[in-house]
Amino acid sequence: MYEGNPVDLQMEKVISADGIFDDTTRACRVYKYDIEDEYIYLELKEDELTAILLDAKYRCYISTKTELLCCSGVVKERYRSEGINLLKFRIENGFYNIYEDRRATRHI
């Protein structure tokens, strides 16, 4: 459904007490979207897998040709497969459409 679309991944907050917050925006691409289990598999483009924390909450912005979608969640796994860096991102509370005036509406 969203496969191939560009993604900006940004940390919202660190869950563990000893984690370090990183406000860097990470460039990704939707590799696969599992609508049933609410997972997005993201291809991490330019960074090392260790740049993504497993104990942090992230915000994921997906750009399609017609809309900008946003969701929050956590990275459950990070691994290398078929020569690419992949993140298994667990979606929490669905998607929201982002508009120019900063209003958001839920998109299921």
Cα–Cα distances in angstroms (integers) from residue 98 to residues 14, 101, 107, in the given order: 24, 8, 10
- Band the pLDDT of 82: cuts 50, 70, 90: confident
The pLDDT, as a whole number, for residue 90 is 97
CA nearest to 79, candidates 49, 47, 38, 45? 49
Q: How do residues 18-63 score in pLDDT, each as one tens digit?
A: 888 999 999 999 999 999 999 999 999 988 999 999 999 999 999 9
The structural domains of the chain, ordered by start, are 6-107 (2.30.110)
The pLDDT, as a whole number, for residue 43 is 97
